[in-house]
Homo-oligomer: A and B are copies of this chain.
Amino acid sequence: MVKGGTKRKPEMKKITNKASRATTFSKRRDGLYSKAAQLCVLSDAQIAILATPSSSSNSNASFFSFGHSSVESVVSAYLAGQRLPPVSSSRFWWDDDKLANSKNPEELMEAMESMKVLMSHLKGLEDQTLSTVDQSPDLDEWSEMELTQLLQDCDDVPPPPPLVSNTDKEEEDQTVSDNNNNNSVSSLPAAAEKSLEEVTMDLDFDTIFEGLLSYDDEDLFWSDDLLFM
């Protein structure tokens, strides 16, 4: 039969079939990242994209960053996003209303400490991997090293339970520090059980590269700002 040609203008509403929805999300997200990468190269811009699939999906949230952004700022934002309960209305715990309204200095200090610890670990992570990154663009190699440390660090960083509001509508919501919760859309401990290749996939660095490299090689341009990747 014809392999294409049956394509019709899709209705702009939520795709009911779960498998189709996941496929569409994956395809279109790749397209979105590719577009963003092109825009960055053409216009010398900085772009960051955070994409979280619907909670009924099995895939994890992925983060995309391009331009001048450093690796650790990407990972930092990614990590920070991971610390949320699946259906929280605020994307980062420091956006939480309780924290915004808090008059308790200790609570604020605790939040700041959590952030400091997170950043310190990310900084150490950077120092540890910098030499490998600079000499080779081999993603799998340094991603493995980075992620090993990343996942290790994650267990060491105390999450700030009093700062994360309990979501009103999620009955099965457990504590943030529950490391064995596989139902979480994108908990790091769950991710640790996957192969490192899969985790790298979730970070979508390879998707970014595929998108860029799919362009004709002779047309491809690497600016200094992109070389750190």
Contacts and interface: CB of A to CB of B under 8 A. Distances in A.
Interface stretch (A69-77, A132-140, A141-149, A173-181): A69-77
A31 interface: yes
Nearest to A64: B49
Nearest to A212: B12
Contacts of A32: 32, 35-36, 39, 47
Contact of A44 (B54, B67, B112): B54
A100 B123 contact: yes
Interface stretch (A189-197, A199-207, A213-221): A213-221
Give how many copies assemble into the complex.
2
A98 to B, nearest CB: 10
Contacts of A90: 70, 73
Contact of A49 (B49, B109, B112): B49
A6 interface: no
Contacts of A101: 120, 123
A108 interface: yes
A31 B15 CA distance: 21
Contact of A54 (B43, B69, B94, B123): B43
A86 to B, nearest CB: 10
A119 to B, nearest CB: 4
A25 interface: yes
Contact of A91 (B69, B87, B223): B69
A95 interface: yes
Interface in A137-169: none
8 contacts: A14-B42, A21-B42, A28-B35, A36-B49, A44-B53, A44-B54, A72-B95, A94-B115
Ranked nearest first, the 8 interchain pairs of A and B with the lowest CB-CB distance are: A13-B221, A100-B119, A112-B112, A44-B54, A25-B43, A46-B52, A48-B50, A28-B39
